[in-house]
Amino acid sequence: MISHLLRSSCLALALFAPAAAMAQGATKPNILYIVADDLGWADVGFHGAEIKTPTIDQLANEGATLDQFYVQPMCTPTRAALMTGRYPLRYGLQSFVILPEQSFGIPLDEKLLSQVLKEAGYSTAIIGKWHLGHADQKLWPKQRGFDYQYGALIGEVDHFTHKVHGVTDWYRNNKKLEEPGYVTSLLGKDAVRYIEAHDPAKPMFMYLAFTAPHTPFQAPKEYLDRFKSIADPNRRTYAAMVNAMDDQIAAVLAALQKKGMRDNTLVIFHSDNGGVKSAAFAGQIETKGALPANNGPFREGKGSLYEGGTRAVALANWPGRIKPQKVNEPLHVVDMLPTLAARAGASTAGTKPLDGTDIWKTISEGAPSPRKEIVYNVEMFRGAVRQGDWKLVWRTTLPAKLELFNVPQDPGEAKNLVAENPQIVADLQKRINDLAGEMKPSMFFEATFKSYLGRHAPAPVFPNDDAFFAQGD
Any idea which residues carry the catalytic annotation?
Answer: 75, 131
Sheet holding 64-66, edge to edge: 175-176, 171-172, 148-151, 123-128, 204-209, 30-36, 265-271, 314-317, 64-66, 325-327
- 22/28 Cα distance (integer angstroms): 10
Quick one: how far is CA 454 from the chain centroid?
34
Question: What sections of 42-134 are H helices per DSSP?
Answer: 54-61, 75-84, 113-119
Beta carbons of 69 and 312 less than 8 angstroms apart: yes
Q: Is the dihedral of CA 107, 83, 356, 329 positive or negative?
A: positive
What is the secondary structure of 288-332 as a DSSP string? SS------TTSS--TT-SSHHHHEE-EEEE-TTTS-SEEE-S-EE
Note whether 237 and 212 are within 8 A (CB). no
The Cα 333–Cα 269 span in angstroms is 11
Instruction: Mention every residue, 6+ apart, whose C-beta is less than 8 A from residue 7.
Output: none
The DSSP call for residue 89 is G
CB atoms within 10 A of CB 261: 19
If 0-12 CB within 10 Å is exposed, 13-18 middle and 19+ buried, where does residue 234 land? buried
Give CA 107 to chain center in angstroms: 18
